[in-house]
Structure 1
Amino acid sequence: MALQAGIGNRLLAALPSADFNLLAPHLQKAAFGFNAVLVRTGDDFRHVYFPCSGAISFLVEMSDGQIVASTLMGSEGAVGALSILSPARSRSPVTATAYVAGTALHVPVSQLQRAFEQSAAIRRVLRFHFRTQLLQLQNVAACNAVHSVECRMARWLLDIHDRVGASRIQLTQEALAHLLGVRRTTVTLTMRKLRETGGIISEQRGVLEIDRTRLGTIACECYGLMRDRINRMYDEELPVGSPNIAHAQHSPS
């Protein structure tokens, strides 16, 4: 497993070498910047992306034009993996946009489908991924229903900080509005409150400087509960010695 253990994506790192080698000849590396779009709503799925660094948000566009983020994915996941379960051409129901710049390995959907049919290990790893994604979606839905905007913004900033590893985060107010499902005016007011409590130190030209410790006292319990639960699932079911999702890029300060 040494060949793939250092590539950065935890799903690929969990595969035995023989199973990883079914994908290796077809994997290509790509870099993406902040706000880069990997796939748009309605586009055909042509590739599945295995992020090695950075963070990608899944955006849902409502009928009135409002855009809401459903979840965030980093090096623990695979963008577009559900497309392999479709017997015919599959179109994306969401837009996948990078909120933290990084890199990914991508493979054609057709190649991943073949490997999925051939390899029990690949089926196990991807089914595990589907379960963790469903769990996170359920948690985000519950969190949005019961927790305040301030608590949710702190949670999203911690989630993003986990992938950045630095106190300065490139994130526009528009992106925060998508994450929170609110208008820009609400984002402005909420950021002001977080600056008053010390969670956000400064904001300038789309770059936020945060205090992680302060944000940890403001965020709802969803952040810690989901981080610990997902990390425990990976440790128990995909024990490859890779860093957990909260430490994929850094050790929290």
Structure 2
Amino acid sequence: MGNRLLGALPASDLDLLGPELETISLDQDGVLSQAGDDIDYVFFPHSGAILLMIDMADGRTVATAAIGREGAVGTLSVLGPSPSAITAVVRAAGTATRIPASRFHAAFSRSPAIRHAVQIHIRSMLMQFQLGAACNALHPVEARMARWLLQLRDRIDDDVLPLTQQTLAQILGVRRTTVTLLMRNLRARGAIRSDRRGLFEIDRARLEATACECHSAMRLEVEEIFPANTTRSRAAVLPENGRIPESGDAM
């Protein structure tokens, strides 16, 4: 499976989801869930990048998390029936597997492995939310913009990012004029090689020098869940006794 959470599941547990899994295209700027609406589907991206956005009453927006093939959209619905608190927007096109939320909830109740996969995903998301809140409060907007560009780059594995300055302003919760000024500074440092209409080409190493430490902390969290050069996640594979490990247990 292209999605790491699904790919880490034992075959018998994946079979619980299999009959209703559907592969779909993720179109750029497509909305997977809207704040205030019920969650109808759980999405497991295979490629592309999705941002979770908070919509404020005055019309402003700000991004709170990025999700790619390491995660899923809609899994928080297993915590109980309630409207979505966020809007999930596709920022880089790709593909995903989706399943009706009701079917996923049924499999979640039957499978310790699926419950554990959701557990580690929620842990990773909470890390993004917590670091993101601290980053927004403490770090300069230029460092935050570099972090978001790198987070998107990590998920699409390409130095050319499908973004406009207006989209970046929505992600950061700032005016477009602020983004224009930041882009000028990053171009002068060589961190952004070009910004053609709707596309940014970045220099990853130079951009990492500008970003705050939050990017490396978030990336390390994903790498710890899905170690490099392994076909399955050590965190997502259940021990032989089937017990879900507690956070303090040795893996």
User: Given the two structures, how large is their TM-score scaled by the length of structure 1?
Assistant: 0.88
Q: Of residues 215, 235, 238 in structure 1, which corresponds to 2:236?
A: 238
> What is the DSSP-based 3-state SS (H/G/I as helix, E as strand, rest coil) of the residue aligned with 2:207?
helix
Alignment partner of 1:167 is 2:159: yes
C-alpha distance in structure 1 between counterparts of 2:105 and 2:159, whole Å: 40
C-alpha distance in structure 2 between counterparts of 1:131 and 1:62, whole Å: 25
Aligned pairs, number: 232
1:145 corresponds to which letter in structure 2? Answer: A
Q: Tell me if structure 2 keeps the 8 A contact 1:59–1:95.
A: yes
C-alpha distance in structure 2 between counterparts of 1:205 and 1:175, whole Å: 12
C-alpha distance in structure 1 between counterparts of 2:58 and 2:118, whole Å: 34
Coordinate RMSD, CA, aligned: 1.4
C-alpha distance in structure 2 between counterparts of 1:229 and 1:45, whole Å: 26
- 1:88-237 matches, within 5 Å, as 88=81, 90-235=82-227, 236-237=234-235
Tell me how far 1:15 sits from its aligned partner. Answer: 0.8
Q: Tell me if structure 2 keeps the 8 A contact 1:200–1:209.
A: yes
Tell me how far 1:204 sits from its aligned partner. Answer: 1.6
1:180 corresponds to which letter in structure 2? Answer: L
Q: Which stretches of structure 1, 4 residues or more, deviate above 6 A after TM superposition?
A: none
Q: Which runs of 5+ in 1 are unaligned?
A: 1-6, 241-253
C-alpha distance in structure 2 between counterparts of 1:225 and 1:69, whole Å: 18
Q: Tell me if structure 2 keeps the 8 A contact 1:49–1:79.
A: yes
Tell me how far 1:75 sits from its aligned partner. Answer: 0.7
Tell me how far 1:68 sits from its aligned partner. Answer: 0.8
C-alpha distance in structure 1 between counterparts of 2:237 and 2:12, whole Å: 17
Alignment partner of 1:73 is 2:67: yes
1:36 corresponds to which letter in structure 2? Answer: G
In structure 2, relative to structure 1, the CA distance for the partners of 1:194 and 1:239 (3 Å cut) is farther
Tell me how far 1:42 sits from its aligned partner. Answer: 1.5
Tell me how far 1:227 sits from its aligned partner. Answer: 0.8
Instruction: Spell out, residue by residue over 1:91-126, the C-alpha distance to the aligned partner (whole angstroms, 9 max, x if none).
Output: 211110011111110001111111011111111111
1:70 corresponds to which letter in structure 2? Answer: T
C-alpha distance in structure 1 between counterparts of 2:158 and 2:17, whole Å: 33
1:44 corresponds to which letter in structure 2? Answer: D
Q: Tell me if structure 2 keeps the 8 A contact 1:100–1:163.
A: no
> What is the DSSP-based 3-state SS (H/G/I as helix, E as strand, rest coil) of the residue aligned with 1:237?
coil
C-alpha distance in structure 2 between counterparts of 1:134 and 1:162, whole Å: 18
Q: Which has the higher helix share?
A: 1
> What is the DSSP-based 3-state SS (H/G/I as helix, E as strand, rest coil) of the residue aligned with 1:215?
helix
2:159 corresponds to which letter in structure 1? Answer: S
Q: Which runs of 5+ in 2 are unaligned?
A: 228-233, 239-251
Structure 1 residue aligned with 2:52:
58
- 1:9-28 matches, within 5 Å, as 9-28=3-22
User: Given the two structures, how large is their TM-score scaled by the length of structure 2?
Assistant: 0.88
